[in-house]
């Protein structure tokens, strides 16, 4: 798998932390050239320096996927620096928590703007380059793109939409040689559960998910990149994630009955 990525250019949104940061390190480890796109400039610049010092090739480019034009600028910078893009990974996202009746419409707008329109902006910006390279696009969704869980309705809506977008693109782009991979992680180590509904990070906030259930980000990144390089239609990450997706497909009634009885733990600025 590593040799198949050597020299190829990979654009990753949300590369400043969590899965995106781990994916960047994994791409560099396999010999790929990585474009680090995220809002937190100081973090991606530090990661660029780390990758270059270890012998890799990286480019940090400030990018907010909720702003029109930002991803296009990142793609243009990548093309200027590396000559094109082979893979685009739409990873940027966060989670709004709370019951539907308690959330404002603006909470839903903010959630969909980042998770859905951010992914769509990434696809549309990168697609001309991906068609030229006959490369691949990966959309990072969630296991909750299959499971309707109480207390995270806005997030679940966004991830169902990401899965639908991936399936639509797969059919539309097959004849043009562009692979589309839907990534559905379960619980992976990241900052997502320390971020409130306004998108603010609360460092040190307690993770409501037990540690034994959380997969290390680098382990997840290896599995995800294996699937992307192999041009697989979907990568489901974590054992509990695979179980949840399997139940949603083969025993939806049992899954609905189980989910309806789940206790909802509180997290920063909302229920989780």
Closest by CA position to 138, among listed 122, 152, 154: 122
Distances (CA, A) of 272 to 16, 63, 194, 255, 264: 24, 28, 11, 18, 5
Indicate the SS3 state at residue 61: strand
| Phi, psi torsion values for 138, nearest 5 degrees | -120, 130
Q: Are 82 and 56 in contact (CB under 8 A)?
A: no
- Report CA-CA distances (Å) from 2 to 102, 113, 179, 180, 232: 47, 34, 18, 19, 16
From 155, 179, 227, 228, the catalytic residue: 155
Nearest to 237 by CA among 251, 248, 227: 227
Cα of 243 vs its chain's centroid, Å: 20
Quick check: is 187 catalytic?
Answer: no
The Cα 158–Cα 80 span in angstroms is 33
Region label for 204, one of left (φ > 0), alpha (ψ between -120 and 50) or beta (otherwise): left
- Kindly give, in sequence order, each residue whose CB lies less than 8 Å from that of residue 94, ignoring residues fewer than 6 positions away: 111, 114, 115, 192, 195, 199
Catalytic positions are 155
């Amino acid at each position: 798998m590593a040799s198949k990525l050597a020299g190829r250019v990979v654009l990753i949104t949300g590369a400043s932390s969590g899965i995106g940061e781990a994916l960047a390190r994994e791409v560099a480890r396999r010999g790929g050239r990585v474009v680090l796109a995220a809002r937190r400039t100081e973090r991606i610049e530090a990661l660029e320096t780390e990758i270059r010092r270890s012998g890799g090739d990286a480019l940090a480019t400030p990018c907010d996927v909720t702003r029109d034009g930002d991803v296009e600028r990142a793609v243009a910078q990548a093309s200027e620096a590396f000559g094109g893009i082979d893979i685009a990974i739409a990873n940027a996202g966060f989670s709004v928590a709370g019951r539907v009746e308690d959330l404002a419409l603006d909470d839903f707008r903010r959630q969909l703007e980042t998770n859905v329109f951010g992914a769509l902006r990434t696809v549309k910006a990168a697609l001309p380059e991906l068609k030229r390279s006959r490369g691949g696009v990966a959309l990072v969704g969630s296991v909750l793109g299959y499971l309707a869980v109480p207390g995270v309705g806005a997030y679940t809506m966004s991830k169902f939409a990401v899965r639908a977008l991936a399936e639509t693109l797969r059919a539309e782009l097959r004849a043009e040689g562009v692979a589309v991979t839907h990534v559905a992680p379960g619980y992976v180590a990241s900052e997502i559960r320390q971020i409130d509904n306004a998108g603010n990070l609360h460092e040190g906030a307690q993770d409501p998910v037990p540690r034994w259930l959380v997969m290390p980000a680098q382990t997840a990144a290896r599995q995800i990149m294996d699937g992307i390089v192999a041009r697989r239609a979907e990568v489901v990450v974590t054992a509990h994630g695979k179980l949840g997706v399997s139940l949603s497909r083969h025993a939806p009634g049992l899954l609905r009955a189980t989910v309806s009885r789940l206790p909802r733990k509180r997290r920063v600025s909302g229920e989780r």
